[in-house]
Amino acid sequence: MTGGDPGRRQPRPWDPRSFTRFWRILLAIVAVGFAVRIAYVVFAKLDEAPAGDQVFYNAAADRLGRHGEFLEPFDPHPPPLVGSDPAADHPPLTIIVLAPVSFLTDDSTDADRFTMAVFGTVTVLVLGLLGREIGGERAGWFAAGIAAVYPNLWVNDGLIMSETLAALAVTLALLSAYRFRRRPAVGTAAALGALCALAALARAELVLLLPLLALPVTVLVPWRRGALAWRPVVAAFGIAALLIGPWVVFNLARFEEPTFLSTNDGIALLGSNCDSVYSGSDIGLTDLTCLGGNPQGDQSVDSKLYRDRAFEYIGDHTGRAVIVAFARVGRTWSVFRPFDMLEYNTGEGRERWVTALGLVAFYPLLALAVYGGVVTYRRRVALWPLLVPVVIVTIASAVTYGQTRFRVPAEPSVVVLGAVGLGALASRPQTRPA
């Protein structure tokens, strides 16, 4: 559904009083969001030992901050060879952001968490701007207000993981996409490409933002005809290549097998395609015990070995793999065995009560988002850019495994559409009985 082009609407004259009022209210909401995130870190996460992928991010940031190297902070090869092999367990953005923090604070996990809380607060601000871009000032306030207190966003800002930066990059990319549609410019196209690249450097699956968001936005929006029509596309993908290229070239040079953004795909595939997660109560999850014995080489060699074994298993269970893929997607979107996440998420440092709050908040917000999508389409505002993160999250879950954490890149779309729906309900005329 493409709807109309918001660029066709006539811009309203700029009113300093309206601008000031919007920003006063928005910044007050952002302050609330910051307080919520700081309170969560102070009262629930202070001095807590990292769990799950947090262990890697914290240790890798410390290694990079102290020695300037992307090496395994703890090598699984026996005998222990700590920091001896190249590492690309995850894309590098989170590690790069946290490395100076780790260096300046002597590897303080609390400092890492407070840093993430700041970035999460910026996401609240940007969601307010995105909501205003799509649905007006009231939708902007509602979007920021929802984001300020929405548990499925602020819980990530108390953890040392990539979701906070991924959500921020996706939100900024969406904002740039809508602003480019409203007023095409080469600079805006370049910003869009840069933000899509940063999102990919936070979470590997978000590289799909480039073909699914940046490409159609820069190609389909009316632009100067003739020789200049290619400039936005070149700007977007040129800057994206400049940002992603060095990491890809670095990986191709240091690993035995071709490696681009991450070596984690083999682990994700094999852990998600084995007997224990193809049936029973754990269907659609992942089981790292399926990886088997000791690694055989560097991370790229191991990843290829795991991929080959995963594809072999899928080939032997093709019919079942389709059913499992639906279960994975259902888990990510909390429509299949959602209460399993209460226990499962504790392995990554998410308390049961936070997961429960997230479930309670998600369902009414999802209903509002569906209504907001209808309203957005009827107003002839392009809906499809907001659906791109939803598609990417769904694809990634179907291919790997189901987990509510994987939904984070799509949460900004849910929040903004929910805000549009809430704004539409609030503005409906009230009828009184005679």
Task: Check: CB of residue 218 under 8 Å from CB of residue 189.
Answer: yes
CA distances from 249 to 60, 71, 208 (A): 20, 16, 19
Q: Is cis: bond before 92, omega within 30 of 0?
A: no
Q: Is cis: bond before 79, omega within 30 of 0?
A: yes
Task: Check: CB of residue 356 under 8 Å from CB of residue 342.
Answer: yes
List Cβ neighbours of 114 (8 Å cut-off, separation of 6 or more): 38, 41
Both tokens of residue 350?
Answer: 């998410």
Both tokens of residue 32?
Answer: 């609330």
How distant is the alpha carbon of residue 237 from its chain centre?
20
6: number of Cβ within 10 Å: 18
Q: Select from 109, 5, 17, 120 the least CA-distant residue to 57.
A: 109
Distance, CA of 415 to CA of 426 (rounded, Å): 16
Q: For residues 71-83, b (16+ Cβ closer than 10 Å) or e, as one string?
A: bbbebeeeeeeee
Distance, CA of 200 to CA of 239 (rounded, Å): 13
The pLDDT value recorded for residue 73 is 79
CA distances from 133 to 6, 89, 180, 342, 426 (A): 9, 36, 11, 35, 18
Instruction: Give the global pTM.
Output: 0.92
Provide Rg for the chain, Cα atoms. 22
State whether the Cα torsion 262-263-267-270 is positive or negative: positive
Q: Is 121 helix (H, G, I), strand (E, B) or coil?
A: helix
End-to-end Cα spacing for the chain: 41
For 45, which DSSP code?
Answer: I
Q: Which long-range contacts (CB under 8 A, 24 or more apart) does 374-378 make?
A: 375/135, 375/420, 375/421, 375/424, 376/3, 376/134, 376/135, 376/417, 376/420, 377/1, 377/3
Q: Is 380 helix (H, G, I), strand (E, B) or coil?
A: coil
13 burial (CB, 10 Å; 0-12 / 13-18 / 19+) is: exposed
The pLDDT value recorded for residue 226 is 54
Encode the chain (434 residues) as per-residue pLDDT tens digits: 444 444 444 445 545 555 688 999 999 999 999 999 999 999 999 999 999 899 999 999 998 998 888 988 775 555 444 557 888 999 999 999 999 999 999 999 999 999 999 999 999 999 999 999 999 999 999 999 999 999 999 999 999 999 999 999 999 999 999 999 999 999 999 999 999 999 999 999 999 999 999 999 998 876 555 545 788 999 999 999 999 999 999 999 999 999 999 999 999 999 999 999 999 999 999 999 998 866 677 899 999 999 999 999 999 999 999 999 999 999 999 999 999 999 999 999 999 999 999 999 999 999 999 999 999 999 999 999 999 999 999 999 999 999 999 999 999 999 999 999 999 998 876 545 44
Distance, CA of 408 to CA of 414 (rounded, Å): 10
Q: Which long-range contacts (CB under 8 A, 24 or more apart) does 377-380 make?
A: 377/1, 377/3, 379/3, 379/4, 379/135, 380/3, 380/4, 380/5, 380/6
Task: Check: CB of residue 49 under 8 Å from CB of residue 58.
Answer: no
CA distances from 429 to 135, 222, 318, 372 (A): 18, 37, 54, 17
